C-alpha cells in the first residue's frame, strides 16, 4: 500500500500537494493531526510555505513535532517540501531564532542580499531554476536523478545550510550564489523547490517517490 500522511499544520499549499500525490499513484492520502493514522502510513510528507517560525509554531500547536521525529526513527520515508524542507534542519533565523525539527543538522539563513560584484541580489528567488543534482552517494534517492540539468519552480528568501556537505543532494545557481535545492540523509529528504508546481518533471519526481515506498 502507498499510504501517505501529509501533515496539516495550518501553513501551506496542502490541497495542491494532496492532488499531486493522488495523481502520482498514492493509494490513500491522510491529512490532519490523526496520529493513529500516522502510525500506519507508508510515508510522511511535510509541505509548507511562509516563515520558519510560523511553521514550527503550527507544528507545535498541532502536537506534531514529536510524532514526526518518532516516524522518522522508524526508517520510513519523510519528505519536506519548501518550508517543510527547511524545518527538517536544526535552526531557522527568519524573524528571530527558532528551533527546527532537527532531523538534519544545519541552519536556515537569508539568501545573501549582495552579489559578488556588489550589486543587490533580487530577493526572494522566484521562478524556474536549473538544478545541479549530485547523482551519486548514499543520500541521493533515485527519484531525484531525473532533475539534473532540468528546471524546477522555486520561491524563497531563506536558504538551507546543512552542516554535513554530504547531506546536500542538489543545488542551483542564483545570480552567482550556490543555493541548496535538495537535502537528504538516510530516509529523510527535502526539496526547496515545489514539485507540485514544476510541471511534468515535478510530477515525475513525486511519482518516483511514491513508487519507492
The pLDDT value recorded for residue 107 is 98
The 3-state secondary structure of 189-201, one letter per residue? EEECCCHHHCHHH
Tell me the domain boundaries of the chain. Answer: 3-212
State yes or no: pLDDT of 62 exceeds 90: no
pLDDT tens-digit series, residues 144-168: 877 788 999 999 999 999 999 999 9
pTM, rounded to two decimals: 0.93
Cell of 102: 532537527
Q: Mean of the per-residue pLDDT values for the chain?
A: 90
Topology of domain 3-212, per CATH?
Rossmann fold (3.40.50)
- The pLDDT of residue 52 is 94
pLDDT given at position 139: 73
Rounded mean pLDDT, 159-184: 95
Choosing from 98, 156, 167, 194, which is the catalytic residue? 194
pLDDT at residue 64 tops 80: yes
Instruction: Judge whether residue 174 has pLDDT over 90.
Output: yes
Q: Is the pLDDT of residue 137 over 70?
A: no
Which residue of the set 82, 133, 156, 167 is catalytic? 82
Tens digits of residue pLDDT in 12-58: 678 888 899 988 888 877 776 667 778 889 999 999 888 999 999 99
- Residue 74 pLDDT more than 70? yes
**List 18, 94, 107, 196, catalytic entry:** 196
The answer to whether the beta carbons of residues 168 and 154 sit under 8 Å apart is no
Answer yes or no: 194 catalytic: yes
Full strand arrangement of the beta sheet holding 125-133:
28-32, 3-7, 43-46, 78-81, 188-191, 177-185, 168-174, 125-133, 151-156
Q: Which carries the bigger pLDDT value, residue 134 or residue 113?
A: 113
Rounded percentage of the chain residues whose pLDDT exceeds 90: 66
Strand pairing class (158-162; 104-110) = antiparallel
For range 134-150, the mean pLDDT:
77
Residues 6+ apart with CB under 8 A from 95: 51, 52, 53
Active-site residue, 82 included? yes
156 has catalytic annotation:
no
Strands (E), the chain: 3-7, 28-32, 43-46, 78-81, 89-92, 98-99, 104-110, 125-133, 151-156, 158-162, 168-174, 177-185, 188-191
Amino acid at each position: 500500500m502507498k499510504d501517505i500522511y501529509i501533515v496539516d499544520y495550518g501553513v501551506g499549499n496542502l490541497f495542491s500537494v494532496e492532488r499531486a500525490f493522488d495523481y502520482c499513484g498514492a493509494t490513500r492520502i491522510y491529512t490532519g493531526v490523526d496520529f493513529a493514522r500516522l502510525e500506519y502510513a507508508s510515508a510522511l510528507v511535510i509541505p509548507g510555505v511562509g516563515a520558519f517560525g510560523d511553521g514550527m509554531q503550527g507544528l507545535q500547536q498541532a502536537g506534531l513535532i514529536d510524532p514526526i521525529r518518532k516516524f522518522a526513527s522508524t526508517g520510513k520515508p519523510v519528505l519536506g517540501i519548501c518550508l517543510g524542507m527547511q524545518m527538517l534542519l536544526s535552526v531557522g533565523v527568519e524573524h528571530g531564532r527558532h528551533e527546527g525539527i532537527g532531523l538534519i543538522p544545519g541552519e536556515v539563513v537569508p539568501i545573501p542580499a549582495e552579489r559578488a560584484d556588489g550589486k543587490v541580489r533580487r530577493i526572494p528567488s522566484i521562478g524556474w531554476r536549473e538544478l545541479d543534482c549530485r547523482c551519486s552517494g548514499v543520500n541521493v534517492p533515485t527519484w531525484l536523478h531525473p532533475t539534473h540539468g532540468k528546471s524546477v519552480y522555486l520561491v524563497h528568501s531563506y536558504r538551507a545550510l546543512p552542516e554535513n556537505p554530504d547531506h546536500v543532494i542538489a543545488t542551483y545557481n542564483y545570480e552567482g550564489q550556490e543555493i541548496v535545492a535538495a537535502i537528504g540523509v538516510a530516509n529523510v529528504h527535502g526539496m526547496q523547490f515545489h514539485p507540485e508546481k514544476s510541471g511534468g518533471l515535478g510530477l515525475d519526481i513525486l511519482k518516483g517517490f511514491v513508487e519507492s515506498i
